[in-house]
Amino acid sequence: MRRALKVAAFGTLIGGAGLYYSFPLLRDDWKHLLYAGIRIFRITKTASVIAVNYIGGITPEKHRENAARLYKTLLSNGGCYVKFGQAIAQLDLLVPQEYADAMKPMLNECQIEDFEIIKQTLEEELKQAISEVFIEFEKKPIASASLAQVHKAKLKNGSIVAVKVQHQHIREEMPGDIRVLDFLARTGKKLYSDFDYEWLIDDLKVNTAQELNFNIEISNALRCANIFKGDPYIKVPKMYTDFSTDKVVTMEFIDGVLVTNISGIQKMGLDFKDIAHTLSRAFNEMIFVHGFVHCDPHPGNILIRPSKVRGKAEVVLLDHGLYKELPINVKNSYSGMWKSIILKDEDGMKKHAAELGVTSMYPLLAGMMVGRPWEEIMSNAEGFEKFRNARAYASDKEALRSHALRWNREINQILGLINRDLVLLFKTFEWLRAIDAELGAPINTIQIIADYCTRNNTSLWARWWIQFKMWIFVRVMIWMGWVGLL
């Protein structure tokens, strides 16, 4: 008994020292330091249970059990743990399907902070009572995310606004929580060589630092609004900078439905093809023309409503906290890689892949960008139909998942090698493919990419001619398939 107590005391001492080291910003706040310790206990306990459960072999049932355990823990811990779960939700071509499916509810389900805490943060940031700024303020949030929650309100001038308020203590907690996830990721890699997700944690480190400063979000939103100024089909909410700080964003309230709300879109009489085309155009404009990209287009950040043009949809872009500005050389290499893929120019792919940090594995990089195996990229059998969104077709998605899992180690190597800006672009395209699949994949987005990735160095007439040839090529290949010539 005495020996057990000594071991327990030693373990507590080591754990306490690790806690004190990992959370330097909480050292003067014992209460939240204790909460941090509880989060560490939860995640390490869950990781241990998962590891023990896999002893004796891996089965789909074990995946489901462990995914449910992990989901519960990440949601309970909140903050960057939720962001980590959201990242897993969009990696369903790289992780077991059971894990991706289990994490998907986390995209729209986060902890809600008590209104009194929200009120305290608001009044501290705006330096006046809520009643002096707003004539109405709904206590129940209309949305909650990993870093903040949003309340509907009315300013004294009558403007209806959405007020985004950062969760209390999230800035002090986040660095330590990421250290814990980083430690677990490195430990997992040592234990299982195929478990290599350090790039995901590295991404989390960089991105959360940017997202926690709401002044950056406001600046991004203003710049994005300027890009689409005058476009009747793409909308960025107006920012009320006089009532915003680095922890509070007050913006125009826009009433719409989530882009994945199929029944809601149908009730408005809007066309899925029109929505998919506008969404693809918006992001390709940001990537290939401006090199300034909204990198968090999950369904909760995109609303749809009728535009002023009868029968046409307006795409509303929300949550501008995470953007990437691509250096001109990276943008040109990325654009060149897409152009080479579309034209099946293998030498071009080798050249541009090397510029992006990938040499011998350029076929796999091309496959990751398109979402198709190399053999299909280089095949002529189905024209541009070979680039259709694999997420939208069960047989295609299963084949692609099998391919991705077979090359899991190499894919993670590529994600660790390439420019960090491109990791976010990969995740952005995965989100957009998932949304496109929800809409029924009504368009072939590769044809839109083909236009954008050639416009910087090709005249309007030449781009039109390229598109026309692509259109003819696709129809000829389909016709040849119909008559049995292929």
Dump pLDDT digits (tens) for 109-123. 777 889 999 999 999
Query: Cβ distance 126 to 152 under 8 Å?
Result: no
Instruction: Look at strands 248-252 and 302-306 and give their pairing.
Output: unpaired
Q: Which of 143, 160, 194 is the last residue of a domain?
A: 194
Q: Report yes or no on 374 lying in a domain.
A: yes
Query: What is the predicted pLDDT for the residue at 146?
Result: 85
Tokens of 443: 């368009």
Q: Which of 204, 224, 253 is the last residue of a domain?
A: 253
Query: What is the predicted pLDDT for the residue at 319?
Result: 92
**Statement to judge: residues 121 and 190 lie in one domain:** no
Q: Report yes or no on 96 lying in a domain.
A: yes
Question: Exposure of 417 by Cβ count < 10 A (0-12 exposed, 13-18 middle, 19+ buried)?
Answer: middle
Report pLDDT digits (tens) over 217-267: 999 999 999 999 989 999 999 999 999 999 999 999 999 999 999 999 999
Query: What is the predicted pLDDT for the residue at 469?
Result: 55
Residue with the larger pLDDT of the pair 189 and 180: 180
Q: Report yes or no on 361 lying in a domain.
A: yes
Report pLDDT digits (tens) over 363-417: 988 888 887 788 888 876 555 566 666 665 566 666 666 766 666 777 777 877 7
Please, what is the average pLDDT of the chain? 82
Q: Report yes or no on 299 lying in a domain.
A: no
Distance, CA of 225 to CA of 238 (rounded, Å): 8
Residue with the larger pLDDT of the pair 374 and 72: 72
**Statement to judge: residues 103 and 132 lie in one domain:** no
Query: What is the predicted pLDDT for the residue at 436?
Result: 84
Query: Mean pLDDT lowest for which of 31-45, 427-441, 459-473?
Result: 459-473
- Domains held by the chain: number: 3
**Statement to judge: residues 67 and 182 lie in one domain:** yes
Query: Cβ distance 407 to 400 under 8 Å?
Result: no
* Exposure string for 94-133, b = 16+ CB within 10 A, e = fewer: bbbbbbbebbbebbeebeebebeebbebbeebbeeeeeeb
Counting residues of the chain whose pLDDT is more than 90, the rounded percentage is 40
**Statement to judge: residues 163 and 33 lie in one domain:** no
Q: Which residue has the tokens 């995310």?
A: 145
Query: What is the predicted pLDDT for the residue at 142?
Result: 92
Query: What is the predicted pLDDT for the residue at 425?
Result: 83
**Statement to judge: residues 236 and 364 lie in one domain:** no
The confidence band for 6, taking pLDDT boundaries of 50, 70 and 90, is very low
- At position 387, the amino acid (one-letter code) is F
The confidence band for 192, taking pLDDT boundaries of 50, 70 and 90, is low
Q: Report yes or no on 471 lying in a domain.
A: yes
Tokens of 26: 């909480």
pTM for the full model? 0.81
Counting residues of the chain whose pLDDT is more than 70, the rounded percentage is 79
Is pLDDT of 462 > 90? Answer: no
Residue with the larger pLDDT of the pair 147 and 90: 147
- For 137, the 3-state DSSP assignment is strand
Q: Which of 148-157, 363-372, 441-450 has the highest mean pLDDT?
A: 148-157
DSSP conformation letters of 45-76: HHHHHHHHHTTT---HHHHHHHHHHHHHHHHH
Query: What is the predicted pLDDT for the residue at 355?
Result: 92
Q: Report yes or no on 290 lying in a domain.
A: no
Q: Residue range 462-470: average pLDDT?
A: 55
**Statement to judge: residues 145 and 38 lie in one domain:** no
Distance, CA of 257 to CA of 143 (rounded, Å): 13
Q: Report yes or no on 278 lying in a domain.
A: no
Query: What is the predicted pLDDT for the residue at 404?
Result: 65
Distance, CA of 308 to CA of 314 (rounded, Å): 8
Distance, CA of 152 to CA of 256 (rounded, Å): 14
Distance, CA of 146 to CA of 81 (rounded, Å): 8
Query: What is the predicted pLDDT for the residue at 200?
Result: 79
Distance between start and end Cα atoms, the chain: 78
Report the CATH number at residue 230.
Answer: 3.30.200.20
**Statement to judge: residues 356 and 476 lie in one domain:** yes
Distance, CA of 433 to CA of 178 (rounded, Å): 28
The confidence band for 22, taking pLDDT boundaries of 50, 70 and 90, is low
Report pLDDT digits (tens) over 270-305: 999 999 999 999 999 999 999 999 988 888 899 999
**Statement to judge: residues 100 and 227 lie in one domain:** no
Range of the domain at 432: 327-482
Instruction: Look at strands 160-166 and 234-235 and give their pairing.
Output: unpaired
Q: Report yes or no on 31 lying in a domain.
A: yes
Residue with the larger pLDDT of the pair 35 and 383: 35
Q: Residue range 110-138: average pLDDT?
A: 93
Query: What is the predicted pLDDT for the residue at 46?
Result: 92
Residue with the larger pLDDT of the pair 250 and 483: 250
Is pLDDT of 49 > 70? Answer: yes
Q: What is the crossing angle of helices 408-417 and 394-406, to 10°?
A: 80
The confidence band for 466, taking pLDDT boundaries of 50, 70 and 90, is low
Residue with the larger pLDDT of the pair 439 and 15: 439
Query: Cβ distance 390 to 371 under 8 Å?
Result: yes
400: Cβ contacts below 8 Å, ≥ 6 apart? 93, 371, 372, 373, 390
Is pLDDT of 486 > 60? Answer: no
How many Cβ atoms sit within 10 Å of the Cβ of residue 5? 9
